[in-house]
Amino acid sequence: MGTAEETAGGEAQAWGEVTPDAARRLLIAAVEAFAERGYHATTTRDIAGRAGMSPAALYIHYKTKEELLHRISRIGHAKALEILRTAARREGSARERLADAVGSFVRWHAGGRTTARVVQYELDSLGPDARAEILALRRQCDDEVHRVIEDGVASGEFDVLDVKGTTLAVLSLCIDVARWFNVDGPWTPDEVGALYADLVLRMVGAGEPAPAQK
């Protein structure tokens, strides 16, 4: 499966809120181009060409190339926050919530790796105001994971000396999946999600769940 097929098919739901159709096609084309060539090496002509449109048509929907990246980043980070918040605030033990958060977050980065690479690794290409907005969303993502780990320490489920540092390590581990995951590789997104959930639980000293009391 090529990048265009992966983005337009497997990742299409991520862009359902982008309308009209022409704006969505341009945004998907930008995701492809930024992931393949990097933001700075991509031109508006490249993006328009991938979308089957003229460069002039792009400016009807987006004033600048940065506006496209900003919108991609904002939607992507909002989705990441939704994934983490849903898992982190559900019913269950801290162990269960952390495993769910990590597994879900990793599956998103693997299944939508083209989008995730742009969302996570092109932050410094944004201007100061747009970058500040995205950093605020990132901090909210950090806070969700931090809160679960903190809960686990308080309940005795986790053995963590530095909650802030561990939160950074957990999120970095998850995000890096977008860099290396290969759809033609040996693992599915679900398998990688399960593997990373297990690794993170071991990282925080959770180990295996305690047997149920009889």
pLDDT tens digits along 119-171: 999 999 999 999 999 999 999 999 999 999 999 999 999 999 999 999 999 99
The amino acid present at 108, given as its one-letter code, is W
Q: Which amino acid is at 66?
A: E
Q: What is the mean pLDDT of residues 62-79?
A: 95
Checking if the pLDDT of 70 tops 50, the result is yes
Give the end-to-end CA distance of the chain in Å, rounded to a whole number. 50
What pTM, to 2 d.p., does this model score?
Answer: 0.87
**Contact (Cβ atoms closer than 8 angstroms) between residue 111 and residue 168:** no
Out of 94-103, 138-147, 166-175, 205-214, which region has the weakest mean confidence (pLDDT)?
205-214
Q: Cα separations (Å) of 68 from 25, 72, 174, 200?
A: 12, 6, 25, 34
Q: What is the tens place of the pLDDT at every residue in 180-200? A: 999 889 999 999 999 999 999
Distance, CA of 49 to chain centre: 26
Q: What is the pLDDT of residue 14?
A: 64
* Position 94 pLDDT exceeds 80: yes
| Three-class secondary structure assignment of the chain | CCHHHHHHHHCHHHHCCCCCHHHHHHHHHHHHHHHHHCCCCCCHHHHHHHCCCCHHHHHHHCCCHHHHHHHHHHHHHHHHHHHHHHHHCCCCCHHHHHHHHHHHHHHHHHHCHHHHHHHHHCHHHCCHHHHHHHHHHHHHHHHHHHHHHHHHHHHCCCCCCCHHHHHHHHHHHHHCHHHHCCCCCCCCHHHHHHHHHHHHHHHCCCCCCCCCCC
Over the stretch 8-65, which tens digit does the pLDDT of each residue have? 334 445 688 898 999 999 999 999 999 999 999 999 999 999 999 998 999 999 999 9
**Residue given tokens 């009889």 in the structure block:** 214
Rg from Cα positions in the chain: 19
Which residues make Cβ contacts (< 8 Å) with residue 208, sequence separation at least 6?
none
